[in-house]
Amino acid sequence: MDTGHKKSALFLVGFVIFFAIALQTQVSLFVHDGYRGLRINVADFGLPVAGAIVLFSLFTKRSFWPVWRVSYTYVWLAVLTIIMTVALFNGYFVNGVWSRWAFLNKYTGWFILLAYFCWGGWLSTNFGERLRSLFLKAFLYFFCAVIFVSVPVMLAGDLGLDLFPVTMLFSGLMGNRNAFALLLVCGLVLMTVFEIRKKPLLPAPVFFAVWTVLPLTMMYNGSRAGLLVVPLLLVLFLFLNVRTTLTRIVPCVLAGMLFVMLLFAVNPDAVLNGRRNQQLTRWYANTVEESQLQLAHAVLQKTKYYQGDQVRFNSWHDGFSLWRNAPIFGAGLGSYLIYEEQNEREIIDIIDSTPLWILTEMGLVGFFAFAAFYTLSLLKLWKTARTGDDEQAIFSHAVVIILLCFGLMSLVHEFLYTRHIWFILGLALANNALDSSSEGEKTLPEPG
């Protein structure tokens, strides 16, 4: 390999590692009065570079187009894009105005998801196990590092040592505790499925440490969706491999739970509602004036002021109301937010349920289209997972479980725009170009 090829290979390796880290880091941009901001992953800044790499290599015939396991994948993506476009225009026709928030966050965001999906597929087709394994290891090591650094800092705060300012609930670098709960589930599934299938991605001490601090991590995170799904995962892992689960996972979880019990003996508030109560007390002291102003504004404007889960329940109720008015094609992108404003609701910009949001703004047409692609992907990955014990089969097995958890957690949260889900899905659904068994695809020619 000449010097130029070595530099290109090193750059690509570094770039994949960047994505493994950046996909776990979110920021909000352009927040100002009247606009709630654009929530993006840091990895979004790398997408233009990724696109340039892919397009240049394709046009110069140095790489292959992604070879998908799901037949007519590009047709499916085109159909979903058409549905999204129709929903955008439908929102304008229904409401008489363009929703800038919907255009930037939902419509433009959809093309970002497609870019992640195709970027993952291109890497998998052209580099197969080599870069996929590199990505997974970098992804998991950074995932573990965030937990191993953040949890002790929060624990120290509960024991009276405020080392650094921390948020009320643990969200890692995802900016939202529920988004981190989904990331936590992804990390647990990836490292555990490979461990169960005898091809571990992490050293044994790191694997044990993650499961040991898991109870403390979940206590600080506080996501109820996570608290529901993780025990189900333990049952599933027990079903997949009783011995590994009982000898390598359950003892670690029990040790972590014992530590939480000891923490309760030392500082009961830290376990029951400690992190929440302690931080909320400080937060309330600093923001009570702002809250009073918001409440006073709500009274003056005769708006409804909700707290807690009532906001979520109201979003579901309003979503169903909108859907009943336009069941086939939905109310259009952005219509839910406009509806909330027009009906003087406590404003939240999303419906906390991915299926309900799709149903509300894209109707039955959009709902069944997304559900069909999701189901086809699951079935194809499950078929691959049963083919053997190679790395692709194990990875497919893990992604099947991730998608099932994603579907379950999406019932009570809006997770469609989670970047790492789409990138991992692209990695899993693409065949390596050297495989001659690409279902529904022709064998690709040698690159020129």
Residues 397 and 328 in one domain: yes
Report d(CA 116, CA 51) in Å as an integer: 10
CB 323 within 8 A of CB 359: yes
Residues 286 and 163 in one domain: yes
Whether residue 310 lies inside any domain: the answer is no
pLDDT tens digits, residue range 28-57? 777 666 555 667 889 999 999 999 999 999
Burial code (b: 16+ CB inside 10 Å, e: under 16) for 409-441 equals bbebbbbbbbbbbbbbbbbbbbbbbeeeebeeb
pLDDT at 408 over 90: yes
What is the CA angle 283-285-286, rounded to 5? 65
The DSSP H or E segment spanning 175 is none
Q: Identify residue 91 by its one-letter amino acid code.
A: G
Give the pLDDT score at 416: 95
E runs forming strands in 147-219: none
Residues 124 and 180 in one domain: no
Burial code (b: 16+ CB inside 10 Å, e: under 16) for 135-174 equals bbbbbbbbbbebbeebbebbbebbeeeeeeebebbbbbbb
Q: Identify residue 242 by its one-letter amino acid code.
A: V
CB neighbours of 307 closer than 8 A, spacing ≥ 6?
none
Two tokens, residue 255: 């040790």
Two tokens, residue 100: 């800038």
pLDDT at 126 over 70: yes
Whether residue 408 lies inside any domain: the answer is yes
Two tokens, residue 238: 């027990």
pLDDT at 297 over 60: no
Boundary (domain end) residue, out of 248, 274, 303: 303
Residues 31 and 79 in one domain: yes
CB 102 within 8 A of CB 91: yes
Handedness of CA 95, 101, 102, 104 (dihedral sign): positive
Question: Based on the structure, what is the number of domains in the chain?
Answer: 2
CB 364 within 8 A of CB 54: no
Among the listed residues 171, 117, 185, 135, the one whose alpha carbon sits nearest the alpha carbon of residue 20: 135
Two tokens, residue 48: 């233009």
Residues 153 and 290 in one domain: yes
The pLDDT confidence band at residue 272, using thresholds 50, 70 and 90, is: low
**SS3 category, 50:** helix
Residues 105 and 140 in one domain: no
Global pTM value: 0.87
Boundary (domain end) residue, out of 274, 303, 332: 303
Two tokens, residue 387: 């083919």
Whether residue 309 lies inside any domain: the answer is no
Residues 137 and 252 in one domain: yes
Report d(CA 37, CA 59) in Å as an integer: 36
Whether residue 41 lies inside any domain: the answer is yes
Whether residue 185 lies inside any domain: the answer is yes
Give the pLDDT score at 437: 43
Residues 109 and 149 in one domain: no
Whether residue 382 lies inside any domain: the answer is yes
Whether residue 139 lies inside any domain: the answer is yes
CB 66 within 8 A of CB 118: yes
Half-sphere exposure of 161 (CA within 13 A, CB side): 7
Give the pLDDT score at 244: 93
Boundary (domain end) residue, out of 255, 273, 303: 303
pLDDT at 420 over 90: yes
pLDDT tens digits, residue range 174-226? 988 999 999 999 999 999 999 999 999 999 999 999 999 999 999 898 899 99
Burial code (b: 16+ CB inside 10 Å, e: under 16) for 358-368 equals bbbbbbebbbe
The DSSP H or E segment spanning 333 is none
CB neighbours of 367 closer than 8 A, spacing ≥ 6?
355, 358, 359
pLDDT at 426 over 60: yes
Report d(CA 401, CA 381) in Å as an integer: 10
**SS3 category, 117:** helix
pLDDT at 300 over 70: no
Q: Which has the higher per-residue pLDDT, 405 or 290?
A: 405
Residues 154 and 278 in one domain: yes
Residues 124 and 135 in one domain: no
Give the pLDDT score at 168: 54
Among the listed residues 279, 275, 143, the one whose alpha carbon sits nearest the alpha carbon of residue 221: 275
Residues 279 and 156 in one domain: yes
Residues 117 and 142 in one domain: no
Q: Residue 28 pairs with which residues in a beta bridge?
A: 39
Give the pLDDT score at 176: 87
- Identify the domain containing residue 406 by its residue range: 1-128+315-448
Whether residue 308 lies inside any domain: the answer is no
**SS3 category, 29:** strand
CB neighbours of 30 closer than 8 A, spacing ≥ 6?
37, 38
Among the listed residues 391, 419, 401, 400, the one whose alpha carbon sits nearest the alpha carbon of residue 119: 419
pLDDT tens digits, residue range 314-358? 778 888 888 988 899 999 998 888 877 776 565 566 788 999 999
The length of the chain in residues reads: 448
Report d(CA 49, CA 42) in Å as an integer: 13
